[in-house]
Amino acid sequence: MLSKYEYDIRELPPDDRIRFSLKYRKALYLISKAAIGAFHLYFLVRLLLVITAPQQTWQIWLMLLVEYIFARMPRYDQLLTVAAGRSLQSRPRDRLRLHGSDYLPRVDVLVPCCGEPTDVVLDTVRAACTMDYPVTQFRVLLLDDGASPALRDAVAELRSQWPHLSYHTRGQHSGRVFAKAGNLNFALFSLQDEVQPEFCAVLDADCMPTSDFLRATLPHLLKDPQAALLTTRQYYYNLPDGDPLQQSRVHFYTCHNSELDRMGAAIDAGSGAVFRRKAIADVGGYPTFSFSEDWQLSLMLQGLGYRTLQVLEPLQLGLVPSSLDGHIAQRNRWQIGHSQQPSVLFSSANQAIPRHLQWSIFLNGVSIVLGLVGYMVGFAAVPVLCASGRLIPAASPFLVRIQVILAVLQIALTWIHGLIQSAHTGFRIGPFAHLENSWLASTHIFAIIRFHCFSSKPKGSFVTGSSANSWNRFTELPIYKKLRKDLLDNGLLYSLFLFLATLGTFLLSFYAPASSDYAAGATNSPKPLIMELLTTVAWPPLLHIVYLTASNLWVPVGYLLRRPEYAERRSRMAMNDHGISFPQEDVQMKLLHQSCPPLGSYNHYVLVPFVLTAIFVAASVL
């Protein structure tokens, strides 16, 4: 085996992603530090004033809690940025390519499946078999937990063209035995007894690799002996225009995981992962205590001192669920997986995991579930706060002025951070993209409760793309049945209610200040009216939170008003140079260059500085 210095690894020119990141990194780092400082100062002062307030009311405590809930996630992004730093060592990951054909490392490409449509699976298999890599140095193993005779026969035919392809199964219904983790462990510990490759790659059944997938991923692991796993961003070629349901997970890849990648602590996103087989075997294979086996594997590797990396290049193209049912079911399964993390402490099967690492996994899962609870409580509390009258301690105009000024500072820095973060990603996201799919928080909580307390078996399959699930059967329902299903079964009625309640109570809350002495003509001073407004409906954090709540609850409301159209996948595919069906070049380029308006829809972000300035001026006259 050649040493890491003997491989022919070359660097490609930086793309737009790298250029934007280098251009805005210093600004993002500095504004993150400033925003963290403002966060601590603001909440310290607010907490002290609430504790010492002469009149203790539930409204002022609820307002403080909801403010913290909505400020927590931007602060987490800011902490990640500061932790990753702004030195040359924290630059975005380079684009590398492995050249040559001799003495390259052996790789097994694992394609687990369980009930997905045969044509989808075979397209992925063909793309994997035709990757640009010596056929003597890699194998493609189709791992079928559905035990499909059609797949078995199709692979037997394809083997005449690609002898490095093989079909394997654990038997009928084996998908229920530790699900995907068990399927992958079956390959690692049963199928690789005699031939153990240095590296393995994992591809979901509906995620097609590009021809340079292995040559683009392996160099990062070859150059970093301490790196055990590399994950790649998933791009989806059937996304509807505008991605109205926020299915692309852009914030996770370009912000959250990119910052973790700079620290060598990226989270495996599942499909498109490449790892050192020995490292995964040493930790006992994929963990089986959670549906989110990829996430847990990342935490285990990091806890044992390995580095985990991420590459953002478009190296795999997959499918998102083409219905609201499928989208919600997929997200529910992910969150149920996180809710299973605490079980790592109690199962005897996990005794091989060091105790400190068990606690780390436990706390990570609890924090994620508590985050869902926080959003559920936060969204539900906003209409209540809008209708609750005074929201902050107002013992004197001076104390109100101090709170308003600090609030304006904290919110302004949060907005600036969001805008610079957007620029840092090449405007792939808008500000506050961390809230994507937060409108599903209550749905996730109910799914977690149902799974743990009532039934752990789904009506169909936990595999989102399985034909056993009703949303993949392509039966067209009448419009009234669709509406009923979305409103009741998918929980959109609750989202619609919260959206209308938030806007309604917010607008109605302006009537109370209108009855003040100044508005009634009893006094010539506007100060009572200003005081009333600033401590109720015009309290800056409330305005900010109402905006975040309404804009996020608009996602399901917008879906009801205009359902997205998912293109039939074959319409976005064509024959490539290898003679296989693959997403068209123009589709790939569109995915690569997707961006958001820098100043939001209709440039509405320009209103933010005017609103904050007006509030600051109003507070200064108290």
Residues 497 and 412 in one domain: yes
Q: For residue 290, give the nearest of 385, 230, 361 by alpha carbon.
A: 361
Residues 283 and 403 in one domain: no
Residues 559 and 526 in one domain: yes
Host H or E run for residue 615: helix 607-620
In a domain, 464, yes or no: no
pLDDT on residue 2 = 46
Residues 424 and 531 in one domain: yes
Whole-number average pLDDT of the chain: 91
| Domain stop point among 302, 322, 342 | 322
pLDDT below 70 — which residues of the chain?
Answer: 1-5, 87-90, 172-178, 349, 456-475, 512-524
Rounded to whole angstroms, what are the CA distances from 613 to 513, 605, 607, 616?
Answer: 21, 14, 10, 5
Residue with tokens 């990141």: 21
Phi/psi zone of residue 432: left (φ > 0), alpha (ψ -120 to 50 degrees), beta?
left
Residues 79 and 141 in one domain: no
Residues 113 and 252 in one domain: yes
pLDDT in tens, 371-400: 999 999 999 999 999 999 899 999 899 999
Could you tell me if 166 and 159 are in contact, meaning their C-beta atoms sit under 8 angstroms apart?
yes
**Token digits of residue 406:** 């600090």
Residues 82 and 115 in one domain: no
**With the CA atoms of 587, 589, 590 and 593 taken in that order, what torsion angle do they form, in degrees rounded to the nearest 10?**
160
Residues 536 and 616 in one domain: yes
Amino acid at 260: L
pLDDT on residue 279 = 96
**Token digits of residue 600:** 């939001």
Whole-angstrom distance, CA of residue 18 vs CA of residue 30: 19
In a domain, 226, yes or no: yes
pLDDT on residue 545 = 98
pLDDT on residue 311 = 97
In a domain, 218, yes or no: yes
In a domain, 470, yes or no: no
In a domain, 329, yes or no: no
Q: For residue 49, give the nearest of 30, 67, 32 by alpha carbon.
A: 67
Q: Which domain holds residue 76?
A: 22-87+372-459+479-565+584-621
Whole-angstrom distance, CA of residue 46 vs CA of residue 535: 13
Residues 118 and 167 in one domain: yes
In a domain, 472, yes or no: no
**With the CA atoms of 344, 349, 355 and 360 taken in that order, what torsion angle do they form, in degrees rounded to the nearest 10?**
-30
pLDDT on residue 193 = 78
Q: For residue 211, give the nearest of 317, 315, 96 by alpha carbon.
A: 315
Whole-angstrom distance, CA of residue 423 vs CA of residue 445: 33
Q: What's the pTM? A: 0.93
pLDDT on residue 195 = 83
In a domain, 174, yes or no: yes
pLDDT on residue 474 = 56
Residues 589 and 487 in one domain: yes
pLDDT in tens, 196-246: 999 999 999 999 999 999 999 999 999 999 999 999 999 999 999 999 999
- Residues with Cβ < 8 Å from 409, sequence gap 6 or more? 38, 42
| Domain stop point among 295, 322, 349 | 322
SS3 sequence of 219-280: HHHHHCCCEEEEEECCEECCCCCCCCCCCCCHHHHHHHHHHHHHCCECCCCCCCEEEEHHHH
Residues 83 and 107 in one domain: no
Residue with tokens 């219904």: 173
| Domain stop point among 285, 304, 322 | 322
**With the CA atoms of 108, 239, 320 and 131 taken in that order, what torsion angle do they form, in degrees rounded to the nearest 10?**
-10
Residues 180 and 210 in one domain: yes
pLDDT on residue 190 = 92
pLDDT on residue 529 = 87
Domain count for the chain? 2
Rounded to whole angstroms, what are the CA distances from 284 to 38, 104, 287, 364?
Answer: 44, 26, 7, 20
In a domain, 333, yes or no: no
Q: For position 111, which CATH number holds?
A: 3.90.550.10
